[in-house]
Amino acid sequence: MKRFAIALTACLVLSLGLNANASPGSTTIILQDANGVGIPNVELNAYASSNTQVRIKTDANGRAVLQALRGQGSLEINHCVQAAESIALQMFDVDYGQGGGSFTLRLPARTQDLEYELRTVDGAKISRFEEVAFHYTPIVSTWVSDFGTFETPFGVAEISSCGEPWISADRLRVAPFSSSESEPVIRVEERIEGGTTSREYPTKDFTPGQVKPIVVNNFRFIEIQPLSGTVFQGQPIRVSGLIKGVASADEISSNEAFFVVCAKRSSPQSMTSRAVSNSRRDGLAVTQNVIIDSSGVNRCILTGSSRDVVSSFAFNISVQTKRQFANAANKRYRSCAALNRVFDGGLARSAAAQSANGSGNRLASVSASGYSRNSSLDRDRDGVACER
């Protein structure tokens, strides 16, 4: 994640004095916006030299009372707006003394939310490239440029991002803070074979309420196609994609292989997917059958075996549990169309029947009881109902 900081030497107001309402040993923080209005529900992380840590949120009036903090320490203010890129204001080298102090911190004014989107030269929109420990390099990244730190009577402070500015499939939204020294800029970096290029776009050129297009070079990547059927834990699912950014399939090596890699967001180093067939490529269309062993939301990519084609954008696959699979398999379906809406490759009586019919693009899910209840849909009596 790229962090940014904006210098605001004249925008932070600090007052220090005894708070008559504070209990002995406590420190009161009052957080206000640029107009002096209290900011509620902002998380404060305070640390003291005695290894004391206090985490608290400001109340409806922007006030928070920190207990048991004495001596040297630090204060961090996490002022994040979930709907847009915002800030985390960090303060360092705080002296809480013996407590009883009252600090009023006034945050700088934030400009209006600005929106922009990335497009390739041929007009295609670029969704977010996301690194989830899959060991591939994003081709395009974007951030608000750095501006450094600044001094306050309370210590050294910096304003840095709460996270990357991407919040939707193909649009970016950022809420930069006004600066007395420099105008915030959007910096877009393209990391491609042979080197890195970057360009900066001053936010003063953006119009609030309008989406600004930013054009970058074309590149090869895999666009994921919608999944068919329901994804169940431990059952095969076909993942498909289209190679974009090439004029013809001849530009892609015939030896290029493709594979799907998934992980849980909470444990990105632990892979949850495994291939159950070799990948297939028909022109620019690629497919692979995989099994995902972990239920819940898995974060996945479809990637190539070389740098000839860039990986797909990370995408979510919601995986239902084995119990949900058993419940769905044991229903009686009126037609293959109805069954295939749930089980894309059909229902197999056994793993042997599944393997015998595994030459197609889709693999059947295995359920002896489910097949038995729907055996009337097995027209060719090969042990798989509604294969395709």
- For 207-225, what is each residue's pLDDT tens digit? 888 888 888 877 778 888 9
Is the pLDDT at 283 greater than 50? The verdict is yes
Q: Confidence class of residue 102 from pLDDT cuts 50, 70 and 90?
A: confident
Q: Quote the longest CA-to-CA distance of the chain.
A: 86
- Residue with tokens 């042990």, as numbered in its chain: 383
pLDDT computed for residue 209 by the predictor = 83
Query: What's the confidence (pLDDT) of residue 381?
Result: 92
Retrieve residue 186's tokens.
């959007």
Which residues does 1 contact at the CB level (< 8 Å), separation at least 6? 161, 163, 164
Amino acid residing at 206: F
Give the neighbor-by-neighbor strand order of the sheet with 140-144.
140-144, 185-192, 195-202
pLDDT-wise least confident of 33-47, 337-351, 361-375: 33-47
- Rounded to whole angstroms, how far apart are CA atoms 76 and 92? 8
- What pLDDT is recorded for position 17? 37
Side-chain half-sphere of 306: how many Cα atoms within 13 Å? 7
DSSP SS3 for 338: helix
Q: In CATH, what is the architecture of 221-320?
A: Sandwich (2.60)
Using the structure block, give the residue that is written with the tokens 């006034």.
106
Between 372 and 1, name the one with better pLDDT. 372
pLDDT score, position 83: 47
Range ranked top by mean pLDDT from 227-241, 250-264, 310-324? 227-241
In the block, residue with structure tokens 């800029």? 185
How far, in Å, CA of 154 to CA of 46, rounded?
13
> Which range, of 31-35, 48-52, 122-126, 290-294, averages the lowest pLDDT?
48-52
The pLDDT value given to residue 307: 65
Q: Is the pLDDT assigned to residue 295 strictly greater than 50?
A: yes
Query: What was the pLDDT predicted at 2?
Result: 29
Dist CA 130 CA 219 (whole Å): 16
Say what the pLDDT of residue 84 is: 42
In the chain, ranges of CATH 2.60.40.10 domains: 221-320
User: 306: exposed, middle or buried (C-beta count within 10 Å: 0-12, 13-18, 19+)?
Assistant: exposed
Q: Which pLDDT tens digit goes with each residue over 47-98?
A: 887 667 888 889 999 999 988 777 888 887 776 554 444 455 556 567 777 7
Radius of gyration of the chain (CA): 28
Q: How far is CA 32 from the centre of its chain?
A: 30
| pLDDT on residue 385 | 96
Query: Which two structure tokens, joined as six digits, stand for 256?
Result: 């290029």
More confident of the two residues 76 and 25: 76
> Average pLDDT, whole number, for the chain?
76
